[in-house]
């Protein structure tokens, strides 16, 4: 493991104000995983609600699929695959508490987040036409997933996803990053171990994989010599640390120019240069800013999930977002 990026201190944090914005949708139960659609709507998962929902420009919200039919589970991230279906990382559910008027995915007494009913995590495939949600993967090499979190597809049709794991009262799971095929034929563990890997994304040319760690506030870059393959390393997991912050990271997206934009709990959106040479925060009106995607005709509209307030925010972004592969 090498560190090539910025290390934040209390005096070096640069913060920019929230750009012009409006509430796109509200009343969502801990939204995450936004996906901007060509018709102007935005898909989002509701972690607490256990659904994939469609948010329309008029503010209406329609449930597309229930991905927790057994009454437990927790949709966390979403991405469109090459077949037009939506692939969802399902964390298996959280223990929910209530504090200061909003839902918290943690047992505030113990610090753990394992729910009363828990059977591991999984990957869902959702047919947008029918709302049918199938389970695609539950394990890799005989080991159950603990808390799949975020997902991104490459140009070849495979997808990367993180397994953040679960926290118990006195222990925490090792996390990892996986690569899989959308037809259910292959899933392989590629990066192990990491501490709470969360957001995942690809550089514009597809040669670099970015992974954000929640608890450490670090953003890692991994070289990809070919699709689905992490460059070998003589030590550690082979990542380059682009940013080492004082806070906590959540999910991420990538701009067309290569900047990585990471949702930062308590700090808004963290923008990191692809070489780690510069970073700054863009403030957001919610402590639990958890995810971001880009949409609109020129992809200069950012859709940001504000999970504490249950809102999806539409933001005029200063630069264009990267076009996703599907």
- Residue 116 is predicted with a pLDDT of 92
Cα dihedral 41, 44, 49, 55, rounded to 10, equals: -10
What pairing do the DSSP bridges indicate for beta strands 143-144 and 139-140?
A: antiparallel
Domain count, the chain: 1
Q: What's the pLDDT band for 6 if we cut at 50, 70, 90?
A: low
Pair 90, 77: CB distance under 8 Å: no
- Residue 72 is predicted with a pLDDT of 82
Percent of the chain scored above 70 by pLDDT?
96
Q: What is the number of other CB atoms lying within 10 angstroms of the CB of residue 315?
A: 21
pLDDT tens for each residue of 122-162: 999 999 999 999 999 999 999 999 999 999 999 999 999 99
User: Which residues contact residue 242 at a Cβ distance below 8 angstroms, ignoring those fewer than 6 apart?
Assistant: 4, 5, 6, 210, 219, 220, 221, 260, 272, 273, 274, 275, 276
Tokens (6 digits) for 234? 């003589």
Is 323 a member of any domain? Answer: no
pTM (predicted TM-score): 0.96
- Residue 10 is predicted with a pLDDT of 47
Is 29 a member of any domain? Answer: yes
β-sheet bridge partners, residue 65: 52
Residue 8: pLDDT above 70? no
Is 273 a member of any domain? Answer: yes
Is 231 a member of any domain? Answer: yes
- Residue 101 is predicted with a pLDDT of 82
Quick one: CA dihedral 157, 49, 18, 279, positive or negative?
A: negative
Phi, psi of 80 (to 5 degrees): -80, 130
3-state SS string over 224-288?
A: CCECCECCCCCCCCCCEEEEECCCEEEEEEEECCCCEEEEEECCEEEEECCCCCCEEEECCCCCC
Average pLDDT over residues 88-96: 96
Tokens (6 digits) for 303? 């859709």
Is 133 a member of any domain? Answer: yes
Average pLDDT over residues 257-273: 97
- Average predicted confidence (pLDDT) for the chain: 95
Average pLDDT over residues 196-215: 98
Average pLDDT over residues 103-122: 94
- Residue 73 is predicted with a pLDDT of 84
- Rounded to an integer, what distance in angstroms lies between the CA atom of residue 59 and that of residue 75? 21
| CATH number, domain containing residue 42 | 2.120.10.30
Pair 246, 240: CB distance under 8 Å: no
Is 11 a member of any domain? Answer: yes
Going by C-alpha positions, the residue among 262, 266, 280, 282 that lies closest to residue 221 is 262
Residue 66 domain boundaries: 2-316
Q: How would you classify residue 307: left for phi > 0, otherwise alpha for psi between -120 and 50, otherwise beta?
A: alpha
Is 162 a member of any domain? Answer: yes
User: Which residues contact residue 174 at a Cβ distance below 8 angstroms, ignoring those fewer than 6 apart?
Assistant: 165, 192, 193, 194, 195
Pair 152, 160: CB distance under 8 Å: yes
Percent of the chain scored above 90 by pLDDT?
91
Is 326 a member of any domain? Answer: no
Phi, psi of 79 (to 5 degrees): -155, 145
Average pLDDT over residues 106-119: 94
């Amino acid at each position: 493991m090498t560190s090539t990026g910025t290390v934040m201190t209390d005096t070096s944090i640069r913060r920019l104000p929230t750009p012009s914005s409006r509430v796109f949708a509200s009343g969502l139960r801990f939204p995450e995983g936004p996906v901007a659609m060509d018709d102007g709507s935005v898909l989002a998962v509701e972690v607490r609600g256990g659904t994939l929902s469609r948010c329309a420009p008029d503010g209406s919200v329609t449930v597309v699929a229930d991905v927790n039919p057994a009454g437990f589970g927790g949709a966390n991230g979403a991405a469109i695959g090459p077949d037009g279906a939506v692939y969802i990382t399902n964390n298996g559910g959280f223990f929910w508490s209530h504090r200061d008027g909003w839902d918290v995915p943690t047992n505030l007494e113990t610090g753990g987040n394992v729910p009363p009913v828990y059977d591991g995590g999984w990957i869902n495939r959702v047919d947008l036409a029918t709302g049918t949600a199938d389970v695609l993967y539950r394990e890799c090499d005989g080991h159950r997933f603990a808390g799949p979190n975020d997902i991104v597809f490459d140009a070849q049709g495979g997808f990367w996803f993180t397994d953040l794991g679960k926290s118990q009262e006195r222990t925490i799971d090792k996390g990892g990053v996986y690569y899989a095929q959308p037809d259910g034929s292959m899933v392989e563990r590629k990066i192990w171990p990491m501490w709470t890997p969360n957001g995942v994304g690809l550089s514009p040319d597809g040669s670099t994989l970015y992974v954000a760690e929640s608890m450490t506030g670090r953003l890692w870059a991994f070289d990809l010599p070919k699709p689905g393959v992490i460059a070998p390393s003589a030590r550690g997991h082979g990542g380059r640390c682009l940013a080492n912050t004082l806070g906590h990271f959540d999910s991420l997206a990538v701009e067309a120019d290569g900047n990585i934009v990471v949702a930062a709990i308590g700090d808004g959106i963290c923008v990191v240069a692809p070489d780690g040479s510069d970073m700054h925060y863009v403030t957001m009106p919610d402590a639990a800013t958890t995810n971001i995607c880009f949409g609109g005709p020129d992809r200069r509209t950012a859709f940001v999930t504000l999970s504490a307030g249950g809102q999806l925010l539409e933001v005029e972004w200063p630069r264009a977002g990267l076009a996703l592969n599907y």
